[in-house]
Amino acid sequence: MEFIESPAFARHLSRYLNDERYRALQHALARNPQAGDLMPGTGGFRKIRWTDPRRGKGSRGGLRVIYYYFAGDQQIWLMTLFDKDEASDLSPKERKALKAAIQAELEARKAHRERRQRG
């Protein structure tokens, strides 16, 4: 499984997860890439709850990781993560932005595959 970090995810990563906890998240997603709940209005993004041991929080009160699973390419696009105390969910505007981003990415991947098939 390949993990691709968006700039937003990379910016917040060290604030929330140390190397050990990040590896644990990657292993969990690699074992079950569809573990997170599908988020309506995002074009297929998922949200998974993740523990936050730095604050002594379990998965319910801990972190939220937003990601997209590209099944055919065996890739997970890690978009962002945040503390539940900061926001319990994304706003409609943020969901719309995710949907636009994934639609553009899927169109680009489709065009790339078509170019490769033509020669």
Query: What are the domain boundaries of the chain?
Result: 2-118
Residues across the chain? 119
CATH number attached to the domain at 2-118: 3.30.2310.20
Confidence of residue 87 (pLDDT cuts 50, 70, 90): confident
The pLDDT value recorded for residue 107 is 95
Pairing of strands 63-70, 46-50: antiparallel
Give percent of the chain above pLDDT 70: 92
Separation CA 67–CA 29 (nearest Å): 10
First to last CA, the chain: 27
Confidence of residue 56 (pLDDT cuts 50, 70, 90): low
| Residue 61 scores a pLDDT above 80 | no
Side-chain half-sphere exposure of 86, counting CA atoms within 13 A: 10
User: H or E element: which one contains 20?
Assistant: helix 19-31
Q: Give the per-residue pLDDT at 65.
A: 96
